[in-house]
Amino acid sequence: MNSSSKRNDNIPQYSKYFRSFLPISFYPQYSSELELSDRIILPKSVLLDISRLNLPSPYLFILKPERVYRSPIYCAPLYFTSEEDIIYLPMILLKRLGFKAFKHQKHQNNLKNGIYLQSLPLKPIDPAGFSNSLWYVLPRCQKVKVFVSRTLAIERIRRGLVNYSVLKEGEDIKLMEKKLFLFI
């Protein structure tokens, strides 16, 4: 076994299964701005677990639906204040995971399929191994092409884009409350 594969075996990875997840509109301190990002609300125990693993911040995760015919989605935590074993997600993320709109009551105990929360894969920043620093395996974005249905100020688009931790080509994202979606 060579040193690079041995070093890769020691790279921390976080994973947890959640059967209970709800639209972020059910969060007790809900405001409509919480829907305008890919940020989720997790239990405090997740923060404690990932802190012990020394994952680099900002923390980035992949949500993988238990139903395998859906693509995984990228997200980041907004708060670590949800009840234990419950995740709150913006509706745009729930739809990407294949879930329809929820009724006005909490259905967290009736869900047939859950989701896996996993940290993004990590790699050493220093390939020679002189540093123990790690970073996420994601290509760095060089340019973002945005398609909108009406004219908008560039600064307004920039302010909306900073709410998203990961932009993925071909995705629609919600930018503002006035039902404006951007196509990336």
Count of residues in the chain: 184
- Using CA atoms, how far apart are residues 82 and 37, in angstroms rounded to an integer? 17
54: its two tokens: 């020394």
Model pLDDT, residue 151: 74
Local confidence band at 180 (pLDDT 50, 70, 90 cut-offs)? low
- Using CA atoms, how far apart are residues 68 and 60, in angstroms rounded to an integer? 21
Q: Which residues have C-beta within 8 Å of that of residue 83, sequence separation ≥ 6?
A: 43
- Using CA atoms, how far apart are residues 24 and 91, in angstroms rounded to an integer? 7
Per the omega criterion (within 30 degrees of 0), is the bond before 12 cis?
no
- Domain 3-136 carries which CATH code? 2.40.40.50
Is 60 exceeded by the pLDDT of residue 3?
no
98 alpha carbon, distance to own chain's centre? 15
Local confidence band at 131 (pLDDT 50, 70, 90 cut-offs)? low
pLDDT tens-digit map of 109-128: 445 567 888 887 766 555 55
Mean pLDDT is highest, among 5-9, 127-131, 174-178, for 174-178
DSSP 145: -
Q: Is the pTM of this model over 0.85?
A: no
Residue the block writes with tokens 């609300």:
41
103 alpha carbon, distance to own chain's centre? 23
Domain coordinates in residue numbering, the chain: 3-136
Model pLDDT, residue 5: 30
pLDDT tens-digit map of 13-64: 899 999 888 999 999 999 888 888 889 999 999 999 999 988 877 888 988 8
